[in-house]
Amino acid sequence: MNWISNYVRPKIQALVQKSDVPENLWVPCGNCGKMVFHRDLERNAQVCPHCEHHMKLDVISRLESLFDDGKYKTINMPEVEADPLKFKDKKKYPERLKDARSKTKRDDVIVAGLGKIGGRKAVVAAFDFKFMGGSMGMAVGEAIVKAAETAVVQNAAFIVVPASGGARMQEGILSLMQMSRTTIGVDMVKEAGLPYIVILTDPTTGGVSASFAMLGDIQIAEPGSLVCFAGARVIEETIREKLPEGFQRAEYLLDHGMVDMVVHRKDIPSTIGKILDHLMN
Amino acid sequence: MRLFLDFEKPIAELESRIEDLRRLDGNKTDNGLNISEEVSRLQKKADKLLKETYKKLSPWQKVQVARHPDRPHFEDIEKYLLEDFMPLAGDRGFAEDHAIVGGLAKFRGTSVMVISHEKGRETEERLKHNFGMARPEGYRKAQRLMDMADRFKLPVLSFVDTPGAYPGVGAEQRGQAEAIARSIEKCLSIKVPFISTIVGEGGSGGAIALAASNVVLMLEHSVYSVISPEGCASILWRSSDYAKQAAEALKMTSEDLLELKVIDEIITEPVGGAHRDKAKTLQDLGNVIEKSLKSLVNYDGQQLKSHRREKFLKMGRDFN
Ligand SMILES: [Zn+2]
């Protein structure tokens, strides 16, 4: 293993990204509207100190926040066919990919790492929503399969943190096939007798929610996150039904029996630690 | 009365002229033209036009054919492919979902479990079957039936024809995403032969929920896609007017999917589409299903499951 590329690089990337933010930046909270100093947000894992609204957490901070001492080894992801359909809408798909890659400095949506949580081995695969809305194409499918295989080989728990608008339309039928391919991945973990835990974050929808993201042994959701199959707009347009309050939010899912618990971001690592203590004894 | 699609208008005109002439019942017309000669001349012209039109259907035209109201539905599958179909109802939790029909039947002498979408034909029927858009209960019933097939070692035959899973408040409330996810998981875990056929529309998650199988077949003019062309157009082109372009870009036809190695075989349709000769289409489909079942006869349960896994894991890895 190359220690420099596997371990240090993500940290450096995170530092570079953080220093891109101007010193005096204040961010308005999407929920209460109050201005929050960005350093306070960083310290608070992007949770508003006034109203506890959970803003989006970047994928590297996510991995660091989950693993003991923020330490993990990045799992290298397999390369995939870039544009299997030669897809073009208003823009060519390779151009969209190029834009997303230069914006995020990442090859695709998922970053996965191997480390310890509460002293127990775990693989975490987390989504970068900024990369084409966290959409699932070949790369996401292969990343879930690879991360799951790593968990099996390492005898580690498997934890996925989705944040995704659903399938990546530009990969057409192959994006749909990732629903079955990712399911195979998580079933390999289950068959190995290892825990599979999902941390649902805002938003988790479409083909992602309708496959591996709903198949966890334990389903945790962050407060307020939108988790659904069909989006509110689609439902309203299709059937003109009025949507209930809090519809498709984490707390609504808890009430309707779809998740085990809604957990504040700061308590998620210790919660997972406790779960693994029970399930991996 | 035959229903014609928009792009079939020239054919429809010829065929209605033929009908008119036939009604004159063999009499000579005023100008002395022999009617039966004229009928056969027009018939030849119509046949040729139909053949030419269907030889080069565009993806968008195929979408129209796949959605044709007279497309073979489950009632036709039952009539031409199955004997003694015994429907089994309900998910045991909430309701019976008529968008997915399932039950026990004989297929060419063998007992099988059948799971199929049903869109319904007349207005009342369509409402009952919810236009083939299943709610969570439909996918949960499918899981129950797959479990039963697994327990009694019955091959599973699934038939897919859906615009997609139903997007409604109740469906979301009762866990549409989870129901689809578990159905896919069940498809991949059963230890019996599993053959699925895309008969009409293979709409997204609602389709793969019944089609993560050992052998995936498609009728020639059916379509299978991650999103409807209209939905794709309204997101990527910001207007559903671009559905035609989206249908092309999505590569949703059987030929495209065979090339992408997502499906295993195409069942050729009669000239003019499956609805013009359902008996023939479904006999041909039956032959391919029978052949596919035979190809799996030497696999034991574990091997059938592994076969399915390997098939899906390989997808997209071998383009070069
Ligand atoms: Zn706030």
Give me ligand 1 centre to Cα A221, in Å.
19
Bridge-based pairing of strands A218-221 and A261-262 is parallel
Q: What is the pTM of this model?
A: 0.94
Q: Which candidate from A177, A183, A247 shows the least CB-CB separation from B316? A: A177
Write down the pLDDT at residue A3.
41
Residue of B nearest to A237 (CA): B167
Q: Are residues A247 and A236 in contact, defined by beta-carbon separation less than 8 angstroms?
A: no
pLDDT band at B27 (very low <50, low <70, confident <90, very high): low
Quick check: A169 pLDDT over 60? yes
How far is residue B47's CA from residue B51's CA, in Å, rounded to a whole number?
Answer: 6
**pLDDT of res. A23:** 60
- Mean pLDDT, residues B77-104 taken together: 98
What is the DSSP code (8-state) at residue B298?
T
CB burial string B167-181: b at 16+ within 10 A, e below:
bbbebbbbbbbbbbb
Q: Do residues B206 and B164 lie in contact, with contact meaning Cβ atoms separated by under 8 Å? A: yes
**Is the pLDDT score of B167 beyond 70?**
yes
Q: Provide the percentage of residues in chain B whose pLDDT is more than 70.
A: 97
Q: Tell me how far the alpha carbon of residue A197 lies from the centroid of ligand 1, in angstroms.
A: 28
pLDDT of residue A201: 98
Q: Answer yes or no: do B312 and A238 touch at CB < 8 A.
A: no
At A240 the pLDDT is 78
Residue of A nearest to B227 (CA): A169
The pLDDT of residue A280 is: 96
Contact state of B315 with A181 under an 8 Å Cβ cutoff: yes
Cβ neighbours, 10 Å, residue B252: 28
Smallest CA-to-CA distance from B116 within B147, B154, B153, B162 is with: B162
Amino acid at A46: Q
CB contact under 8 A, A210 and B235: no
Mean of per-residue pLDDT scores for chain B: 95
User: Measured between CA atoms, how close is B253 to chain A, in angstroms?
Assistant: 10
The C-alpha atoms of residue B151 and residue A227 are separated, in whole angstroms, by 34
Query: Is there a contact between A209 and B177 if contact means CB atoms under 8 Å apart?
Result: yes
Q: How many CA atoms lie within 13 A of B307 on its CB side?
A: 20
Which residue matches tokens 């891109």?
A20
Give residue A264 CA to ligand 1 midpoint distance, Å.
Answer: 14
B274-304 confidence digits (pLDDT tens): 999 999 999 999 999 999 999 999 999 999 9
Structure tokens at A160: 């996925």
Q: Which two tokens stand for residue A218?
A: 């334990």
Mean pLDDT, to the nearest integer, of A138-153? 98
Give the tokens for residue A91.
């823009």
Which is nearest to B77 in space by CA: B105, B111, B110, B96? B105
Give the residue from A171, A222, A196 showing the smallest Cα distance to A65.
A222
Read off the tokens for B152.
């009694």
Q: Is the bond preceding residue B163 a cis peptide, omega within 30 degrees?
A: no
Domain definitions of chain A by residue range: 20-55, 58-279
Which of A141, A207, A229 comes nearest B176 by C-beta? A229
- How confident is the model over A207-231, as a mean pLDDT? 97
Residue A20: what pLDDT? 53
Task: State which residues have CB under 5 angstroms from ligand 1, the bound ion.
Answer: A 29, 31-32, 48, 50-51, 53
Q: Which secondary-structure segment (H or E) carries B87?
A: strand B83-87
pLDDT digits (tens, 9 = 90+) for B228-259: 999 999 999 999 899 999 999 999 999 999 99
Q: From its phi and psi, is residue A132 left (phi > 0), alpha (psi between -120 and 50) or beta?
A: left
Stretch A81-91: mean pLDDT, rounded? 92
Residue A281, both tokens: 């004894």
Supply the pLDDT for residue A244.
Answer: 87
How far apart CA A10 and CA A22 sit, in angstroms, is 21
**With contact defined as beta carbons under 8 Å apart, do A181 and B310 qualify?**
no
Whether B205 and A177 lie within 8 Å, measured CB to CB? no
Query: Which CATH superfamily, name and number, covers A58-279?
Result: 2-enoyl-CoA Hydratase; Chain A, domain 1 (3.90.226.10)
Tokens of B211: 């089609």
ipTM of the complex, rounded to two decimals: 0.95
Please list every residue in chain B whose beta carbon sits closer than 8 Å to the beta carbon of residue A256.
173-175
Residue A257: CB atoms within 10 A of its CB come to 11
Q: What is the pLDDT of residue B25?
A: 63
Residue type, B253: T
Rounded to the nearest angstrom, the distance between the alpha carbon of B273 and the centre of ligand 1 is 58
In angstroms, what is the span from residue A236 Cα to ligand 1's centroid? Answer: 28
